[in-house]
Chain A
Amino acid sequence: MEKLINEFSFGLFFWQLLMFVLLVILLGKFAWKPILSAIEGREEGIKDALDAAEKAKLEMANLNADNERLLQEARAERETMMKEAREIKAKMIADAKEEAQAEANKTIANAQAAIESEKKAAVAELKSTVATLSVDIAEKMVKSELSNKDKQLELVNSMLNDAKLN
């Protein structure tokens, strides 16, 4: 300890203190401050760039999701449209069929009705014709048969029997 105190040089202490304080101040101003701020700035820059990249990645993912969603929607829309179209087609076909059927039925009914009426008319005509004919025949028969009484009766009977058939 004594040796240490003996060795102590005040001048060296003074110069060291002075130089070192000066050095800290000067370096702090001209070296450490710009160096540290540059390092910090660079680190900040790197961090920002990383953040931006992360953000971009997220946005990209969002965009992809959006695209996917849009695609999905479009696909769904197409699907519904197709379905609708198909339904419309089916409906149209069905409608057409129905209409055709109805038309056909109507035509058939009309035809039947016409046939029926035609038939009735024909039968009526036939009846009148037969009646006329019968009258004519009867007239003729009567004319011819009246000469023969039995024959006349027989004829009238047979004729009546025949007429009853209609």
Chain B
Amino acid sequence: MTIPTIVGAGLIVIGAGLGIGKIGGSAMDAIARQPEASGKIQTAMLIAAALIEGIGFAALFAG
């Protein structure tokens, strides 16, 4: 593994982490606001997180 690859991987992880963190935080807010819709919010949150994660992994492996 060369240094640019490692740095790139680190950047990807930071970006993906921030993205998933934002999704999680927003989902928490949404659940706090509307606890009765928590099931739907959770599903949407998981899908969005999974999509970002997928992109993160794809970039990581492409590197």
Contact = CB atoms under 8 A, between A and B. Distances in A.
Chain A partners chain B: yes
Interface of A: 1, 4
Contacts of B62: 1
3 contacts: A1-B61, A1-B62, A4-B61
Contacts of A4: 61
Contacts of B61: 1, 4
Interface string B36-63: 0000000000000000000000000110
Interface of B: 61-62
The 3 lowest CB-CB distance pairs between A and B, nearest first, are: A1-B62, A1-B61, A4-B61
Nearest to B58: A1
A4 B62 CA distance: 10
A1 B62 CA distance: 5
Contacts of A1: 61-62
A1 B60 CA distance: 9
A4 B56 CA distance: 16
